[in-house]
Amino acid sequence: MNEEFILALREIVKEKGISAELLFTTIEDALVAAYKKNYAGNNGAVQNVRVSLNRDTGEIHVYSQKKVVEELQDSVNEISLEDAKEINKKYEVEDMVDIEVTPKSFGRIAAQSAKQVVVQRIKEAERNIIYNEFVEKEFDIITGTVIRKDKGNVFVDLGKIEAVLGSSEQMRGEEYNFNEKLKLYIVEVKNTTKGAQIVVSRTHPGLVKRLFELEVPEIYEGVVEIKSIAREAGSRTKIAVYSNDENVDAMGACVGPKGARVQNIVNELKNEKIDIIKWNKLPEEYIANSLSPAKVIDVSIDEEAKAAKVVVDDNQLSLAIGKEGQNVRLAAKLTSWKIDIKSKSQVEQQE
């Protein structure tokens, strides 16, 4: 090793954000292992070895560490007090003596070992950098490019890493074409032995929430608050909003001028229907609003069972329930109340 090697190491340290001392220490540990493997002899008896790597010049020295003893029993790991005193009179029993044993041919082996360690450390550092970058984006939106499809999975290029959009995280009926740009919700970032693993989704309600935060300044600023989201991805979403400023209409802010804001989100979600609901602290009002676009006549609630009985006009019953029960199902999910809907004539018959 030489000064050029040390300068190159320091450049790597600077570029990759690796700890210089950690890298040097790791190289020294690797050199200890290399020495024991190549020079310990057939009996492998050399146990106590220390390698010193000069941080400025790249000079390497290998030392056999021996314990000072009164009576010598292990010539490999021990040195008699008499012999130790010949090296330096200050040595006493139990002290450790460093005796240089650097082989003349050790440079080539040392260089190979150091290279392996450096390559490994660079890989680890790059994995950590990518993980740290993406873990900060967990529960946020990222734009990716579709690069391939395989066995139902869609592989997306996120720049420094690929993410897999699993079949369960894909929107129903949505096509994923090569080179298509997609907005994705980062559900989880895992740090594995193979590096960062990014779990992304197109079906998560968080995707809708983040899209509204991007499109609606009032939400981003905290004036309008998203209270709840219920979603059946690719089909329909209900989102309950509330304004912290009586002069700002929460629903109007989300819809935007001529419906532009909500339309941008609908376009991104490939025409998924979005119902914007006005949140209310009174359960009766909130439940009535959640069944939009149906008009509700009456809501009676059972607080203990967290169940609500809803009455609508006969011509509103199918609208309130929705196709295959979707509207009432999403309303129940949005409000966290069990909802039982009956028409006005059904109620009158029961009475």
168: CATH: 2.40.50.140
Q: Are strands 141-150 and 60-69 parallel, antiparallel or unpaired?
A: unpaired
* Average pLDDT of span 241-250: 97
- Looking at the fold, whether 63 and 144 belong to one and the same domain comes out as no
**Residue 64 domain boundaries:** 3-132
Choosing from 180, 201, 222, the residue where a domain stops is 201
Q: Can you give the CATH number for the domain in which 103 is found?
A: 3.30.1480.10
* 191-234 pLDDT per residue, tens: 988 889 999 999 999 999 999 999 999 999 999 999 999 999 99
Q: Is the bond preceding 293 in cis, omega lying within 30 degrees of 0?
A: yes
From the number of C-beta atoms within 10 Å of its C-beta (0-12, 13-18, 19+), residue 109 rates as middle
Q: Is residue 222 part of a domain?
A: yes
* Same-domain pairing of 98 and 159: no
Q: What proportion of the chain, given as a percentage, has pLDDT over 70?
A: 97
- How many CB atoms are located within 10 Å of the residue 324 CB? 8
Q: For position 105, what pLDDT does the model report?
A: 84
> Per the domain annotation, does 125 fall within a domain?
yes
Residues 147 and 128 in one domain: no
pLDDT confidence bin for 182, thresholds 50/70/90: very high
Do 146 and 192 lie in one domain? The reply is yes
Question: Can you give the pLDDT at residue 46?
Answer: 58
pLDDT at res. 306: 97
Q: How far apart are CA 134 and CA 155, in angstroms?
A: 17
State the residue for tokens 């059946």. Answer: 232
Average pLDDT over all residues of the chain: 92
Provide the number of structural domains found in the chain: 4
Residues 23 and 128 in one domain: yes
Q: Using alpha carbons, select from 336, 327, 323, 334 the residue that is nearest to residue 296.
A: 327
Looking at the fold, whether 192 and 261 belong to one and the same domain comes out as no
pLDDT value at 340 more than 90: yes
Residue 41 confidence (pLDDT): 60
pLDDT of residue 129: 86
* pTM of the predicted structure, to 2 decimals: 0.74
**What CATH number did the domain enclosing 261 receive?**
3.30.300.20
Same domain for 52 and 34: yes
* 3-12, 295-304, 338-347: least confidently modelled range: 3-12
Q: Does 39 lie in the same domain as 88?
A: yes
- Tell me the average pLDDT across 159-169: 93
Mean pLDDT of 142-168: 94
Q: What is the mean pLDDT of residues 62-90?
A: 91
Where is pLDDT greater, at 37 or 146? 146
